[in-house]
Amino acid sequence: MQKTVAIVGAGLGGLMLARVLQTHGVATMIYEGEASATSRGQGGLLDIHEETGQAALRAAGLYDEFLTLVRPGEDAKRVVDRHGTLLLDKPAGPGSPRPEVDRGELRRLLIDSLAPGTIWWDHKLTLIRHHPAGGLDLTFAAGSPAHADIVVGADGAWSKVRPLLTSAEPRYSGTCFVEIALTSSGRTHQESVAAIGSGTLMAVAPGKGIIVHRYADGRVRGYVALNRPEEWMRSIDFDDPSAGLRRLSREFDGWSPLLTAFVTESDADPWLRPIHALPVGLRWDRLPGVTLVGDAAHLMSPFAGEGANLAMYDGAELAAELAAHSDVEAALATFEERLFTRSREVADRSAQNLEVFFGEKAPQSVVALFDHS
């Protein structure tokens, strides 16, 4: 394929797309709004699934390097009720088909695999439009404009490319996360950390939860989850972190102090993260030279564990289609039909699992979910 490819967004999906295109000898550029690879934290752990994320890493020729990033033992799971009563204790499995890796480390692996100069940092897209003579023009808040025959929106939940294809926008799911962490020492902290086990602790009840992960180096990171209106959550003053966390902890009155300590003693700057999702089954009509991957195409809640996996799989599959066919529009049409089918099933499961975690049957519903997984 001799067409030029511009990828908007240097997340996992965009990076995977660029990597696999380059392994096929197809030149591409990534335009990313962030100033550098380290300008923003990349979140916690991801479980990488055999049939999607791992398949993409194999296509990229990075599977062996990926294995060096796996965190053995950190896929263990515990479920407790609000009193801290242990309901499920699922130990880590050797040779898990869904091993855990740090998102930041995985992103760095993909970045380092690209040809030098592939990523143009500090290029926040402000305008995209078709050029009268063909292809698309891209304008950025900083930096020179660009032109490409093919543009792929890999720019996440609030994609600037998506409006070319559909008027659909993410909708608030009714659940908000607030990031928490625990790194300091102390007797109460040690008891709370010990309650986690070697992996993830999920303390859930109807409409709320405290979910934390224990890293091998002793760090604890996680989030508080509440089913509340987004406006109500934003009314909590997190500019004063201690006061904001104390206000948040009142939503957990009557819970075990070993659990609420993760909130009241959190070392993290509280980061409010309303969970949004695109409509399940979203499709769009074929538009010449443009498509989407990852959250830009199928944003969903994290409760199917597939967001990052699908993003990488999207990128690898789109790259393979473009590399294999001289007819770009046929390649994009084939890719999108497969994208629509797989993302609909996963988005539906994700929406159902959100109800499993914080619906009226929690925490027993969560125990049943992991008992059968």
Q: Where are the domains of the chain?
A: 5-71+97-169+278-357, 172-275
Q: Render 188-250 in DSSP notation, one character per residue.
A: HHHHHHHHHTTSEEEEEETTEEEEEEE-TTS-EEEEEEEE--HHHHHTS-TTSHHHHHHHHHG
| Contact (CB, 8 A) for 162 and 305 | no
Handedness of CA 345, 351, 352, 356 (dihedral sign): positive
7 residue type, one letter: I
pLDDT given for residue 72 in this prediction: 79
Kind and range of the H or E element at 83?
Answer: none
pLDDT given for residue 41 in this prediction: 67
Best CA proximity match to 279, nearest among 298, 295, 251:
298
pLDDT given for residue 184 in this prediction: 59
Q: What is the bridge-based pairing of β-strands 136-140 and 125-130?
A: antiparallel
- For residues 327 and 344, give the distance between their C-alpha atoms in angstroms, rounded to a whole number: 26
- 3-state SS class at 173: strand
pLDDT given for residue 188 in this prediction: 56
Can you give the pLDDT of all 373 residues of the chain as single tens digits?
Answer: 678 999 999 999 999 999 999 999 999 999 999 999 888 766 678 889 999 999 999 999 999 999 999 987 777 899 999 999 999 999 877 667 788 898 999 999 999 999 999 999 999 999 999 999 999 999 999 989 999 999 999 999 999 999 999 999 999 999 999 999 987 555 557 888 889 988 899 999 999 999 999 887 778 999 999 999 999 999 999 999 999 999 999 999 999 999 999 999 998 889 899 999 999 999 999 999 999 999 999 999 988 888 999 999 999 999 999 999 889 999 999 999 999 999 999 999 999 999 999 999 999 999 999 887 6
Kind and range of the H or E element at 120?
Answer: strand 119-120
- How many of the other CB atoms lie within 10 Å of CB of 373? 9
Q: From residue 222, give the alpha-carbon distance in Å to each of 67, 200, 219, 318.
A: 24, 9, 10, 33
61: Cβ contacts below 8 Å, ≥ 6 apart: 23
- 3-state SS class at 215: coil
Residue that has been written with the tokens 């789109």 in this structure:
318
Phi then psi dihedrals of residue 161, to 5 deg: -90, -35
Residue that has been written with the tokens 């600037």 in this structure:
160
Torsion on CA atoms 90, 92, 93, 97, rounded to nearest 10:
100
Tell me which DSSP letter residue 278 carries.
Answer: P
Residue that has been written with the tokens 């009226």 in this structure:
360
Phi then psi dihedrals of residue 313, to 5 deg: -65, -40
Q: Identical fold at 5-71+97-169+278-357 and 172-275?
A: no
> 5-71+97-169+278-357: which CATH topology?
FAD/NAD(P)-binding domain (3.50.50)
pLDDT given for residue 85 in this prediction: 97
Which residues partner with 172 through β-bridges?
A: 276
Domain formed by 172-275, architecture: 2-Layer Sandwich (3.30)
**Whole-structure pTM value:** 0.94
- For residues 139 and 145, give the distance between their C-alpha atoms in angstroms, rounded to a whole number: 5
Handedness of CA 32, 36, 41, 44 (dihedral sign): positive
Q: Render 258-274 in DSSP notation, one character per residue.
A: HHHHHHHT--SPP-EEE
